[in-house]
Structure formats: structure tokens, C-alpha cells
Amino acid sequence: MQYSIALLPMCLVSMKNFLDTTYIKNADLKNFCTFKIGGKAKHLFIVQSNDALLNVCYYCNSHNIRYKIIGIGANLLFDDKGYNGAIIINQSKNFMFKKNYLYCDAGVNISTLISESIKRNLSGLEYFSLIPSTIGGAVVNSLGAFDHRFFDLIERVICYKKSDPKKRVILSKNDCKFGYRTSIFKADEFIITRVKLKLKFDDKSEILKRMKHCLNKKSSTQPIKDFSAGSVFKRSTLIPAKVIDELGLKGKQIGGAEISKKHSGFIINRENASAMDVLNLIKYINDIVYKKFNQKFELEIEFVPFN
């Protein structure tokens, strides 16, 4: 059941003055992630502004409620048992351009900013077309595509300590410790609210040409119409899709989870897959890879446990 803040259950009545916030009790997490998998979250908050985000985080801290902040849930596998705490969905949508600089809230969908940037003849974001992500998710996961790294565009990140949502912190690109699909934010110690990006002016037709190339490449090689969490494994000395293909595992299915026939680096939710189906398929892949190469793939997706 969904509640406005004025109609919150008694355990949350102290939040009645919160604005820009929607509360859902026992929310089905499969409705809030691209994998369409997961049990129920004890609490779920949808926030529409940075103030609302920080207020909910402060509330959770004050009431000893464990919480996790997400965007569109594109890189997550939720536990079948659900989440014993609060999931906070950041949908803050403010952004502003100043010449070739872009100031945007962490909750803004990257697809929105790609369109707005192209209108202004600004290049840099078009390489990330068709990648489901908010700006916050792109920062946390150090998004990359076609040899382009999202963090190369970052000038600074404004965030707050999870332990003290009133403490504002401004981090430079170097402070963020970006690497291949990793950053300082992976430790889940910060609440990202706003990001400053530096883009480049370019001819609009050239930007559109690059974007079209990215769109065609992704749509022709990746299972974008299937439910998934994106690439399951990180690259190392082994290239996951290449290795999985060579081992003859493409199309392997456990329960409702399947190694995509279109791109072996993806596991898709073929038939009402459970999180356990996905985890068992990951284990199956890694067991075979280990026997062959004496090493295992590292996960790129994040499993979010119940506790």
C-alpha cells in the first residue's frame, strides 16, 4: 500500500512534515529494479528533491533503520527475502547548464541529460546512450562504454556523510578514487546529492552521429529488451562474454535465469527468475571457469541481501 506522508503508519508519524516524499510499506522490490527480481522491502521511500533525500536519511539514522539509496535499480539483484530496512529511491531531477558545465542532481536519469546536452551542442554523454542509469548510479559504479569513462567528465561531487546527513562534503575527481567499475562510493558511506560535469562544445550532427553508432551497437549486440542488471561480471585477464561463449554456456538456464543468447555477459530474467536462480547460475559459471582457468569472475552487479 502507498501512503502520502500525511498518512504514514504510526511508526513514521514524525515524518508528517516531509515534502517531496512518497512512502510504501512492504514494497515489492521487483517493481523497482531492471532485473524484476526481489522480495519486499520493509520500507520504501521515493524522494523528489535533495532536501527530501537528506531528511529521510536523517530519519532512518534517528530511528536505527538500515537503508540503501538507489536510482532505477539497474545494477542490482535484490534478495528473494526482500530488504529488512528502507530502500530510498532518489528521483531528484534538478539540473542546470552554465556554458559547457552541467550541474545536476544525482537522481536525474542520464538519458534526460543526453537529450538536453545535445540540444546545447554539448558532447560527452552521448557515449552512454541506452545505459539505464541515474547520474548517481553512474558515479557510484564508475560507468563506462566504448572506451569512454563517465568519471572523465566529473569536476566535483557534492555529498553528505551517511553517518551524519547534515555534514556536507565536496569531493574532487581524485578524491572519488575512480577505477574500473569502482569508486569511493562503493563503501556506501556517502549520500550523493549533486554532480558537476564538464562537457565539450561540438557540432550537433557529429554528436548525433556518435550517439547513433552507440545506439546501433548496443541494440544489435545486447539484450536490451530483456530484464537484466547489465553485465554480470567484470573484465579481468579474462573477458567474460568471450570465455562463456568458448565454454559453450550461452543459453544455459537455471530456473528462470538464463545466460543471454544475444550476449553471454548478461544473465536475463527469462521466466520469473528468483534471485537464487541467478546466484546459482553465477556459481555454475564460476565453478566451470575456475576449473578451466584457476580463477573466478568478479561480480559487476551488486547483490543486496535481506540483512
Query: Which residues are marked as active site?
Result: 181, 231, 300
Cα→Cα distances 4→90, 154, 170, 277, Å: 16, 36, 33, 35
Q: Who's near 150: CB < 8 A, 6+ residues apart?
A: 128, 138, 139, 142, 143, 144
Cα→Cα distances 12→5, 53, 236, Å: 9, 16, 46
C-alpha 113: how far from chain center:
16
Beta bridge partners of 195: 104, 157
Query: Is residue 92 packed enough to be buried (19+ CB in 10 Å), middle (13-18) or exposed (0-12)?
Result: buried
Residue 199 is given by DSSP the state -
Query: Which residue in the block uniquely carries the three cell numbers 569508486?
Result: 183
Cα→Cα distances 86→23, 65, 235, 277, Å: 10, 7, 32, 24
End-to-end CA distance of the chain: 23
Q: Who's near 139: CB < 8 A, 6+ residues apart?
A: 106, 150, 151, 154, 157, 176, 183, 185, 192, 195
CA diameter of the chain: 59
Query: Is residue 84 packed enough to be buried (19+ CB in 10 Å), middle (13-18) or exposed (0-12)?
Result: middle
If DSSP codes are grouped into helix, strand and coil, which group holds residue 201?
strand
